[in-house]
Amino acid sequence: MSMTGAPMSTPRLKAGIFVRALIRRAEVEGASAFIVRRGAEEAGAVIIKVAKMDGSVQVLNQTRDGRGALVWSQPLGGWTDEARAGQWCDKQVKFDPDLWIVEIEDRQGRAFVDEEIV
């Protein structure tokens, strides 16, 4: 709590820095990663599409849990096909023009995030 009694929030990493670090982390581990859509450098939300190279894709969306901690939700309920993932991402961009979309191509299906995937 702050001195005013309001809950203190954890400082948020700028979206552009997070995306570049995510891409570097994936590449160091032998995966390919690239920006599909560049959002707002300072505060854009991030969606990650993980492609296993077998036609299946997992979409992860940044959100906060009940305690306010950053987690990654699976808005499509887990692995799906590229067309469905693409349609969902296109719809999100219409609602949030500041949105980043990062695609990771990894046969093991790794997302390279530290936060929990729920």
CB count within 10 Å of CB 44 equals: 22
**The total number of residues written for the chain in this structure:** 118
Mean pLDDT of the chain, nearest integer: 90
What pLDDT is attached to residue 12? 61
Q: List the beta bridge partners of residue 117.
A: 72
Name the amino acid, one letter, at 104.
Answer: I
The predicted model scores a pTM of 0.86
Q: List, for residues 76-113, the tens digit of each pLDDT value.
A: 999 999 999 999 999 999 999 999 999 999 999 999 99
State both tokens at 85.
Answer: 């993932």
Domains annotated for the chain, with CATH where assigned, are 31-105 (3.40.1530.20)
State both tokens at 110.
Answer: 């790794």
State both tokens at 73.
Answer: 């939700």
Q: What average pLDDT does the segment 28-33 reach?
A: 97
- Residue 104: phi and psi, rounded to 5, are -115, 125
